[in-house]
Amino acid sequence: MTTITRLEQLDLSKSYTYADYMTWQFNDAIELIKGKIMLMSPAPNVE
């Protein structure tokens, strides 16, 4: 099994499990909803 270190290594059209998600080692903020990867929006910068 290949270690996933970049979001670009994943096929966004596939479905993934929580077990898959737990093995990924990148810093991008994502959510896994019904097996699909959803990119999270950055938090607003409130000054």
Range of the domain at 19: 7-39
What pLDDT is recorded for position 24?
94
Cα torsion through 23, 27, 30, 36, rounded to 10? -40
For the chain, the domain total comes to 1
Cross-strand bridge partners of residue 30: 39
Location of structure tokens 């929580």:
18
Residues in contact with 27: Cβ distance below 8 Å, sequence separation at least 6, in sequence order: none
The reply to whether 46 falls in a domain is no
Q: How many CB atoms sit inside 10 A of residue 38's CB?
A: 12
Q: What is the pLDDT along the chain (47 residues), one digit of tens a residue?
A: 688 999 999 999 999 999 999 999 998 899 999 999 999 988 888 87
Structure tokens at 22: 């737990």
pTM of the model: 0.74
Q: Is residue 25 part of a domain?
A: yes
